[in-house]
Structure 1
Amino acid sequence: MLVLSRRVGEQIVIGDDIVLTVVDVRNDTVRLGIDAPRSVSVNRAEVRQAVEEANREAAAAVDDDAVAALRALTAPREPER
């Protein structure tokens, strides 16, 4: 892990197109501004972890009735004659 010290207004550049700017520092909180292309996903680690856990729980909770209902929604159409 690379650890850098920055002051308010100073920036860190990652690659060619991601810029982190220190916006504010108060007590034990640092506010960062992130400038990145739309194709780059930027999320807080705890939010990403919560989404992954919710997805795992949802996948584990699948029952046969739910699967049958989903299959009925996406059943292929019969060809027209």
Structure 2
Amino acid sequence: MLVLSRRVGESIIIGDNIQVRVLKIENGVVKLGIVAPDDVRIYREEVYNAIAQHNKSVISQETALESVMKLKEVIKSDKDRR
């Protein structure tokens, strides 16, 4: 992990097109401004983690549904053979 110290008004540049600027420090809270291209998604970590967890649960549900549908086809074809 890279650790940098910045004062209010100072920035860091990530890659060629992302700028993170310290806007304000008050009561232990740092306010950041981020300038990035429109196609770069920027999330707070807790929001990103919630989205990732939701996506994992949807994938699990889809996988479970696919398994049930395959099992249904196996049972149907087994009944058709009788």
- For residues 27-71 of structure 1, the C-alpha deviation after alignment (integer angstroms, 9 at most, x for no partner) is 22111000001121111111111011112223333565xxx8xxx
Partner of 1:49: 49
Q: What secondary structure is seen at the aligned counterpart in 1 of 2:25? A: strand
* Distance in 1 between residues matched to 2:51 and 2:2, nearest whole Å: 27
Give unpaired runs (5+ residues) of structure 2. 70-82
Unaligned runs of at least 5 residues, structure 1: 69-81
Q: TM-score, normalised by structure 1?
A: 0.69
Find the aligned partners of 2:61 and 2:37 in 1 and give their Cα distance.
36
TM-score by length of 2: 0.68
Work out the number of aligned pairs and report it.
66
Look up the match of 2:19: 19
Which has more radius of gyration?
2
